[in-house]
Amino acid sequence: MNTAQEHEESVVVTLTGCSPEDADTVFRALGRSYTSDRAAHETPKDTAEGHDTVWATTFDVSHPLAGPEPVTLAAPVTVELQGGYWAVDRMTETLNASFAVREEGMAAGDQEKDVQLRLTSGIPTERF
């Protein structure tokens, strides 16, 4: 079980409804800003053909590494953030700097909150 200190500084990021490539894009974008429990060489892979895959990684938001950058996704990605209020808010700010973000839901508890977001590309595309 996690301690209260871990909850204050860490955010569990869960991705669904996306390709392994888009999941990797989101995790790498967040990995530029924060350390995680995911190895640098690790890439998301589908585990079962024809079934939805869920990817999860925990990020420590207490000491940012670098500033976020806009990122391109092939398709929208559903992201759920779970952690302490401060940590989830910090992670949401980082996602807002890299992606176009729409909040789709939120559940609040005494010390933690869950936020569901929908991410699309943060880089404007040219239209012809």
Residues 22, 126: Cα–Cα separation, whole Å: 20
Best CA proximity match to 37, nearest among 63, 9, 56? 56
Contact 62, 9 (CB under 8 A): yes
Segment 20-53, tens digit of pLDDT = 899 999 999 999 999 988 766 666 666 666 667 8
Residues 27, 41: Cα–Cα separation, whole Å: 12
Q: What pLDDT is attached to residue 85?
A: 93
Structure tokens at 90: 């910090």
Is 100 exposed, middle or buried (CB count within 10 Å of its CB: 0-12, 13-18, 19+)? middle
Q: What pLDDT is attached to residue 42?
A: 66
Angle at 73 between CA 102 and CA 107, to 5 degrees: 30
Segment 73-95, tens digit of pLDDT = 999 999 999 999 999 999 999 99
Reported as a pLDDT band with limits 50, 70 and 90, residue 96 is very high
Looking at the whole model, is its pTM more than 0.95? no
Say which DSSP state 50 is in: T
